[in-house]
Amino acid sequence: MGSAVPKQLLDLGGRSLLQRSVAAFDAHARVREIVVVLPAEHVAEGLSLVGETSRPCRFVAGGERRQDSVACGLRALDDAIEVILVHDAARPFVDAALIDRVIAAVEQTGAAVPVVRPRDTVKQLDAPGTRVAATLPREHIGLAQTPQGFRRAVLRDAIALGEQGVDATDEAMLAERAGHAVAAVAGDERNVKVTTPADLAVARAPLAGARVGTGYDLHRLVAGRPLVLAGVHVPFDRGPQGHSDGDVLCHALIDAMLGAAGAGDIGRHFPNTDERWTDAPGLDLLARAAAIVATRGWVLSSADVTVVLERPKLGSYIDQLCARIAATLGVDPACVSVKAKTNEGVDAVGRGEAIAAHAVAVLAPGGGA
């Protein structure tokens, strides 16, 4: 890469490649814990390099070879974890659907690797690399990606083979040589590996014109109103007072999206003086806001919302809230983050008299303008 720092720490639209890769797994519903394998000199600063995660995250030093680093990561994992995914931090665009496919195949067969089919004719070259030795049929060729998945026993066998001196370019190759069948699942052409400066330029291009907006909303909590967030009814004896349904999560995100697009705020488009918006569901207004943003040539790239509420606790609803927002906006759930915080007893929110939300939205070019 020709960089002064490891390529995984280079910036990609405001976050490093490493941060984007970790975030994809941290947001996945079935991931229980994460181990980040780093050069020894970076282990102490692992938390600052990755940032806070919702899943337990450990940082360990790697080894000389790829397989040595994977062995270090395996030793750091909880012994109770049976399905293990190995991912290159240099593939920052992995999504939840690909992770799902790999996990499902591992549960069925024991090992799996995502592959993409080559579009070009594949030539096998002679040793000097100056002549074509053979033409390989494309239907029998798959270009390997990560995450590669394994049951613990299979990965342990693969690593043991590597420790005997067998070199391999990935764990699937070691698993094959250890006698295990490895399933091939559909990869994703967007799941590119950033290897050269040209790769980094291509990866940065869709993010180059990104716009960022912030949003905030607060409502009093009163008796006789339901507590609804992103269409999810949360059992409680009070709910937000408002002209619409008082969904602070959606309202804050709407303001963030509209602000990023330079389209004003929620009050401009859905004023409380207009009866059309009486008790309007937050998700309905969010979909309408997304359409407004699209007319200006923008689509949501990522969203991060913090709901501040003393009680009830919202932790068990987080995955559902992310899924509802993602479905409404037509994005991958990995692009949406919802966090729940209390106000530690401070002010009206802390006394349980109100609910608030803060939101950040990142828009990318690509709307209907």
Q: In the CATH scheme, what architecture does the domain 7-114+145-206 have?
A: Alpha-Beta Complex (3.90)
Extract the tokens encoding 350: 């802390």
Bridge partners (DSSP) listed for residue 103: none
Q: What is the spatial distance between Cα 331 and Cα 301, in angstroms, rounded to a whole number?
A: 8
Determine contact, residues 172/113, Cβ cutoff 8 Å. Answer: yes
**Distances in whole angstroms, Cα of residue 75 to Cα of each of 59, 84, 138, 354:** 12, 12, 38, 46
Q: Which helix (H) or strand (E) holds 113?
A: strand 111-116
Instruction: Report residue 101 CA to chain centroid gap.
Output: 15
pLDDT at residue 297, rounded to an integer? 83
> What residue spans in the chain does CATH classification 3.30.1330.50 cover?
209-365
| Positions in the chain short of pLDDT 50 | 368-369
Class of domain 209-365: alpha beta
257 CB-near residues (< 8 Å, 6+ apart): 213, 215, 289, 290, 293, 300, 303, 361, 363
Q: Summarize pLDDT for 281-325 with one digit per residue, the tens.
A: 999 999 999 999 988 888 899 999 999 999 999 999 999 999 999
- Predicted TM-score of the model (pTM): 0.62
pLDDT at residue 367, rounded to an integer? 54
Q: What is the mean pLDDT of the chain?
A: 92
% residues pLDDT > 70 (the chain): 99
Q: Which helix (H) or strand (E) holds 223?
A: strand 211-223
Give the amino acid at 178: A
